[in-house]
Chains A and B, each alone.
Chain A
Amino acid sequence: MSDEFRELDRRGLPVAAVFMSGVAALAAVPTAIGLSSISVGVALAWSLPGALFVVVAGVVAEWLRLRFTRYRVGADRVELRTGVLIRTRRSLQRDRIRTVDVTADPLLRVFGLVSVRIGTGEHADDGTVRLRPVTRATGDELRRALLARVGRGEAEDTLAVLDPGWIRYAPLSFVAPTLGIAAFGGALNAADWVGRAGGVIDWAVDLLVGLGLVGAIAVLAGVVLLVGVVGAAGLWVEMWWGYRLDREPGGTLRVRRGLLTTRSISIEEDRLRGVDVVEPLGARLAGAARVDAVATGMATKVEKDKARHRTLLPAAPGAVAHRVAADVLREPVSPTDAVRLSPHPVAARGRRLRWALAAVLAGELPLIVLGLVLTEVLLHIAWITSVLAVPVAVALALDAYRSLGHGSVGGYLVTRSGSVRRSTVALQRRGIVGWTVRQSVFQRRAGLSTVAATTAAGSGAYAIRDVGTSTGLEAADAAVPGLLAPFLERTPAADSSGRRRA
């Protein structure tokens, strides 16, 4: 790779032109339709120049941006100079670069271009250089050059490839009903907009009225669910098509995926501090799990799509998830699978049950208050919904308690919690950079604490929730020998029992 300052690809201009034309069309067409009720001439006279202005302004802005943006990949640093009026220079130390993500949306793909994000994982935006657009070849070259470390003398290794059958887990999330309801709302909105095409709505309403109330609700729910399932499946295909997880010779994990927008996400293995095996309720019932990386220097929270960024494996059968987790960590068995988790005290179950019932009560309270003040109907709705909600809440609370657990295996601290989204985190003990122990008044009375290991990776802290105070502190002390010990007080009974350390 040359030492010269280089430009972004000039084909950014046509990309911008096409993109801005799309934006202009989206804005101009409804305007033109609206104005055409006055006269076609007026409509064109207003919308065409406006659209033209938007396109030209967008292209000029892009031209200026391309004209004034230069980047250089030197021996020690990657530099970026940008800005028309306010010149900014950004310089990343090459040995601090941890991620190089290459994405290409459909528009860029048409022109054979990609967008490259080079990140050190530090200081959020300051530690990131974005190059958009560069050619696909340049993108690949950058990725390879910047992540090339001293090779460990191993060949490229494929850890997982997509099994199209995994699509069956896609609709088992909250995405499906949400999408369905959104589509329903969108359809009503569009019908309201168009107005004139009301014939379709009338026809649908007539059809539903013919079915009676229960039938109509059933049909509507069915349609919403169907749309949701199709939508979720479609989204899954767009996100995960062509998925593969590779380990590259330099010790880099690389996830490639995407149907329309292709993404390539590279995570340096040295930055990996563990894995998070996530089982959303639906997927868990179907025996599936997702694997997220717990790594430092991943996309920061200011950026969207964060969760997806660190997903190493989409929801897949549990056995596959555990195998991938083990392979990623270079362990024979995944610590999330090998560990025997100690359950937490029964007091934690009481807390969960109280939370669940309090949540139901909080939901019902407005109904009850309004019911007492206004009409009895609301009271009936309140008790009917409670009869449905209380068992669900109790079941979730009991399940959440069953999920609680922590343990230690090999070099890992493993902690699990959650019901709707059960997460089993295996965190490398050497990745723990401190402890935060929290105890509310209620926890104190029950003898519980929440012991959180702080780490540079992932969400910053992973907690052993509602663990018996003594047990939790001993686990923390055993996980990072010496750190907590000077601050612990042990009664003689504990001293004679002896602590076992790894």
Chain B
Amino acid sequence: MTAGTETTTATPGSTRLRPPRNPVDRRAVGWWTTDLLLLVAAPVVALVVLGVLIAPARIWLLAPALVIAAIGLAAAATLPRWWFTVHRWEVTDTAVYTRTGWFWQEWRVAPLSRIQTVDTRRGPVEQRFGLATVVVTTASAKGSVTMAGLDHALAADIAEQLTLITQAVPGDAT
């Protein structure tokens, strides 16, 4: 419409995001497996207990328990290994970069200059596996970047390093 317009299009089909450099810690497979098993165990145990107590409805309670347990075990045996290949992260001199998901794959980039807070989170199961999650937030409500399943010493290092960089940058990063 006007002369001020610039085009940002380039040759299509030629550019893509490369995977971030680092895989998550190998122990994350164990963590995710445990999480999945715990998630499945709760309804299964409840159904089995009820099935034992309520004799007339036993079949109707134990059958779903069996189905849930089977699906849960299958998921626990396969999904964490798959996630391990999918979840990747990277911290460069300029940005934090992660990739997650497969059905809905998601790449997130946050420049270090815009980071507002750096948190390390450790759930109880995560702690047992010696892992930690680093959450980096920016001024955007939808811009946080999460790196889950890192070795906890490494996570602490990253968090400290990012915090130092963040403090060095003046302004409120909006």
Contacts and interface: CB of A to CB of B under 8 A. Distances in A.
Interface of A: 96, 271, 296, 333, 337-340, 342, 345, 406-410, 431, 433-441, 444, 447, 452, 454-457, 459-461, 468-471, 473-475, 477-480, 482-484, 486-491, 493-494, 497, 499-500, 502
B11 A470 contact: yes
Given A338-B5, A436-B107, A473-B16, A487 B143 contact: no
A100 to B, nearest CB: 18
Interface residues of B, number: 44
B92 A486 contact: yes
Given A441-B103, A460-B143, A484-B17, 15 more contacts: A333-B2, A342-B8, A431-B174, A434-B108, A436-B108, A438-B104, A439-B106, A468-B13, A480-B111, A486-B95, A487-B95, A488-B16, A489-B17, A490-B15, A494-B10
B15 A474 contact: yes
Contacts of A436: 106-109, 142-143
- Which of A437, A447, A480 has the largest number of chain B CB atoms within 10 A? A437
A455 B114 CA distance: 10
B4 A434 contact: no
B143 to A, nearest CB: 3
A478 B8 contact: yes
Interface in B80-113: 90, 92, 94-95, 97, 102-111
Interface stretch (B39-47, B48-56, B133-141): B133-141
Nearest to A499: B10
Contact of A486 (B6, B9, B94, B173): B94
Interface of B: 1-2, 4-18, 20, 90, 92, 94-95, 97, 102-111, 114, 138-143, 145, 172-174
B13 A500 contact: no
Q: Is the interface of B mostly helix, strand, loop or mixed?
A: loop
Given A433-B110, A433-B174, A434-B110, A491 B10 contact: no
B5 A339 contact: yes
B2 to A, nearest CB: 5
B16 A456 contact: no
Contacts of B14: 470, 490-491, 493-494, 497
Contacts of A447: 13
28 contacts: A342-B7, A342-B8, A345-B12, A407-B5, A409-B4, A433-B173, A434-B140, A435-B108, A436-B143, A437-B17, A441-B103, A455-B140, A456-B174, A470-B11, A470-B13, A470-B15, A473-B15, A474-B10, A477-B15, A483-B95, A484-B109, A487-B17, A487-B18, A488-B17, A489-B17, A490-B15, A497-B10, A502-B6
B6 to A, nearest CB: 5
A475 B1 contact: no
B11 A409 contact: no
Given A337-B1, A456-B138, A433 B114 contact: yes
Nearest to A337: B1
Contacts of B145: 434
Given A433-B111, A433-B174, A438 B106 contact: yes
B8 A408 contact: yes
A457 B11 CA distance: 32
Contacts of B5: 338-340, 407, 409
A494 B15 contact: yes
A279 B78 CA distance: 47
B88 to A, nearest CB: 11
A410 B3 CA distance: 11
A479 B8 CA distance: 8
Contacts of A437: 17, 106-108
Given A296-B174, A486-B94, A490-B15, A456 B6 contact: no
Contact of A338 (B2, B9, B17, B102): B2
Given A342-B9, A433-B140, A333 B4 contact: yes
Given A342-B7, A434-B140, A471-B9, A489 B16 contact: yes
A340 B174 CA distance: 28
Contacts of A491: 14-15
Contacts of A296: 139, 174
Closest 7 CB pairs of A and B: A454-B143, A456-B139, A494-B14, A460-B141, A460-B142, A456-B174, A454-B140
A80 B21 CA distance: 49
B101 to A, nearest CB: 8
Contacts of B104: 438-441
B173 to A, nearest CB: 7
Contact of A470 (B10, B90, B94): B10
A370 B115 CA distance: 54
A439 B15 contact: no
B140 A410 contact: no
- Which of A456, A469, A473, A490 has the largest number of chain B CB atoms within 10 A? A456
B140 A488 contact: no
A147 B108 CA distance: 36
Contacts of B110: 433-434, 454
Contacts of A478: 8
A455 B141 CA distance: 8
